[in-house]
A and B are shown apart, each in its own frame.
Chain A
Amino acid sequence: MTKKQKKMLVRILITAVMLIALNFIPITGVWQLLAYVAAYLVIGYDILRKAGKGILNGRAFDENFLMALATLGAFFLAIWTKSGDYVEGIAVMLFYQIGELFQSYAVGKSRKNISALMDIRPDYANIEADGQLTQVDPDEVAVGSIIVVQPGEKVPLDGVVVEGAASLNTSALTGESLPRDVKEGDEIISGCIDMSGVLKIRTTKAFGESTVSKILDLVENASSRKSRSEAFISRFAKVYTPAVCAAALALAVLVPLGRMLAGLDAGWTDWVYRALSFLVVSCPCALVISIPLSFFAGIGGASREGVLIKGSNYLEALSEAKIVVFDKTGTLTQGVFEVTAVHHNPMDEAQLLEYAALAECASSHPISKSLQKAYGKEIDRSRVTDIEELSGHGITATVDGHAVAAGNSKLMKKLGIEYHDCHSTGTIIHMAVDGQYAGHIVISDIVKPHSKEALEQLKRAGVRKTVMLTGDAKRVADSVAAGLGVDEVRSELLPGDKVAEVEKLLAAKGKNEMLAFVGDGINDAPVLTRADIGIAMGAMGSDAAIEAADIVLMDDDPLQIAKAIQISRKCIGIVRQNIVFSLVVKFGCLALVAFGAANMWAAIFADVGVMVLAVLNAIRALNYKN
């Protein structure tokens, strides 16, 4: 509890004790009134002061004004009718303050919980000088310095490991609980926790530019982009309070006047009392506090799962996502080419791969890389001579004295070698050794292990259509799409065509449907910006993706997309519950009070009770369970 909250608690206790004591002390008349006024001032002086200042500053209609008016009114009514029932006004103020205290405590508490979730900010960096470690502010470490990270410490800055090996806990960044191993030469991202082994890291970024700062900045600024629900509440509160005051005035003045005209007893005190009770229920705090709190908790809960959402508006949009468009390479597939098959080979498979890898040893093309990886052994370049690269065709070389040709069908035609076409999808490398066809190697991009499951889960989460966009050949794209169960495929697209395709989809979608585009954030920036919701995945360390996307998945697991949608649905659900629940209870109470069916006690219980329940409900958005 803060100092302010403690002070308020003391005031509440003093007032409660005073009220109970006054109940037993037999004083009457002026002395009784003075004692009650003292109790009232103890609990309500700040409200009166704020209400007064509000009027002076030309802002008459706020909740302080409402409370001051209602409680003072109750007091004067008690004096007027000589009932001596001063307790009501004080009790209303007391409950109002208890409600405020609870709210400020609950909000403070959940704020702390959420900040703790995102507690990735490193406090210091260790710099080694003269064999001694000194702790410095990460802000002061220059790019290119060597820092030391010990087991249990957070990696303070992005960099490259120059010495040592360790397991890293990346769960604060990615939500992934499996540790990640790093060794010498690996890139390392700030915010991870070193779980074993001492690491020496050469920093590659200043603190302000490092992953941790980027993420914190993003999360802290998230609530500055307001959702429609939040905008609705601010607009609502602006109209609502004056409207309620007007209604209360009508109850207090117009109704009795009307009764007088109709020849009935005006019943002034009764109607003024009803009007005052009306004011007590009217405070819109339940809404005003619980809606932003729900969004904040939702965004906080999502970031714990490795899903960074840049604003509550995106959270809201995500919950309405009906069309999800994927980029293929790097999103649904790993973007890493691998040898998947070797066909029609008269010689040993390993032998063929060896020839291919050796022939391609000088090339840095991803396909050559994958051949070398499939071969798996150290390449002895001295075995290869006469390497000739025929652009758009392939490579010819002499390996161990044999003439080897590796390339596409065009190369085979050019060399006049008969070849077998392949029925598998992927990139085909035909091989010829000493002028004889020696079979072909199929290289393809591997589908991510969770892609199929992710698409199924999206469907279950209510996504109507999934579309895959790719620059790849139609045959490859169709086969991947069929394997994964994607609804539509657009293949052989140039980067610019992707924007055009997304625009077509945007034009065709329904009014309340949102279109999300998921990409790996490398070449997708224009599309990410154009879609209703741009989702970048595998964003650890990629500044461009964090910049361009609305939602950032730290991990590159496509299952995270469905998870993000579920989190957003839950959060929006809570927001709606709170809006409906608060409004129904409020208007119900207003009606009861207006018809004289509920007194001021009921009114204050309704007001504080709704707020407490709404706040507790909002905190639920923090937790996500599979």
Chain B
Amino acid sequence: MKKTYQIEVDCANCANLMEEAAKKTEGVANATVNFMTQKMIVEFAEGADEKKTMKTVLKACKKVEPDCEIEL
């Protein structure tokens, strides 16, 4: 299951940090952040609850980059 989310992030480095944070979140099999198109593509692990997982992802991202936003 793969989903694309619109994100808001100001700097390329922060986008990298968000990507790493999202990857480490439970329920996420893989994640890529495209800084230029301001998109996050999340591949969910099998059986993971998308909504719950994305909430944790957002929390983890806020931790590394307080200014970021993910449109859920």
Contact = CB atoms under 8 A, between A and B. Distances in A.
A4 B11 CA distance: 13
Given A49-B66, A50-B66, A59-B64, A288 B36 contact: no
Contact of A237 (B13, B32, B64, B66): B13
A111 B11 contact: no
A115 B38 CA distance: 11
Interface string A95-120: 00000100110010001001100000
Interface string A211-248: 00000000011011000000000100100000000000
Interface in B9-38: 10-13, 16, 32, 34-38
Contacts of B66: 49-50, 53
A7 B12 CA distance: 21
Nearest to A292: B12
A296 B15 CA distance: 14
Contacts of A50: 66-67
B12 A221 contact: no
Given A114-B36, A285-B13, A288-B11, A224 B41 contact: yes
B55 interface: no
A577 to B, nearest CB: 18
A111 B41 contact: no
A288 B13 contact: yes
A234 B12 CA distance: 10
B64 A288 contact: no
A289 B13 CA distance: 7
Contacts, number: 53
Nearest to B35: A292
A52 B47 CA distance: 37
Contacts of B39: 220
B12 A57 contact: no
Contacts of A100: 10-11
A104 B10 contact: yes
Of B35, B36, B37, B64, most A-chain CB atoms within 10 Å: B36
Contacts of B34: 220-221, 223-224
A148 interface: no
B64 A103 contact: no
Nearest to B16: A234
A293 interface: yes
B35 A288 contact: no
Contacts of A220: 34, 37, 39
Contacts of B41: 221, 224
Contacts of B67: 50
Q: DSSP class of A's interface residues: helix, strand, loop or mixed?
A: helix
Contacts of B37: 111, 115, 220, 223
Nearest to B19: A224
Contact of A292 (B36, B38, B63, B64): B36
Nearest to B60: A57
A285 B32 CA distance: 21
Given A49-B66, A57-B63, A59-B64, A224 B32 contact: yes
A111 B38 CA distance: 9
A103 B36 contact: no
Interface in A38-62: 49-50, 53, 57, 59, 62
A59 B65 CA distance: 10
Interface string B31-67: 0101111110100000000000000000000011011
A220 B37 CA distance: 7
Contacts of B63: 53, 57
Nearest to B36: A296
Contacts of A234: 16
B50 to A, nearest CB: 19
B56 to A, nearest CB: 15
A103 B16 contact: no
A221 B66 CA distance: 25
Given A49-B66, A57-B64, A223 B12 contact: no
A582 B12 CA distance: 16
Interface in A353-368: none
B54 to A, nearest CB: 18
Nearest to A49: B66
A477 to B, nearest CB: 43
A234 B33 CA distance: 14
A223 B35 contact: yes
Contacts of A293: 12, 36
A63 B13 CA distance: 10
A107 B10 CA distance: 9
Contacts of B64: 57, 59
A223 B36 contact: yes
B12 A288 contact: yes
Given A223-B34, A224-B41, A289-B13, 17 more contacts: A4-B10, A50-B67, A100-B11, A111-B36, A114-B36, A220-B34, A220-B37, A221-B41, A223-B35, A223-B36, A224-B32, A237-B13, A285-B11, A285-B13, A289-B12, A293-B12, A293-B36
> Nearest 7 pairs between A and B by C-beta?
A224-B32, A296-B36, A288-B13, A57-B63, A289-B12, A292-B12, A220-B37
30 contacts: A50-B66, A50-B67, A53-B63, A53-B66, A57-B64, A59-B64, A100-B11, A104-B10, A107-B12, A111-B36, A111-B37, A111-B38, A114-B36, A115-B37, A220-B37, A220-B39, A221-B32, A223-B34, A223-B37, A224-B32, A224-B34, A224-B41, A234-B16, A284-B13, A285-B11, A285-B13, A288-B11, A289-B11, A289-B12, A292-B36
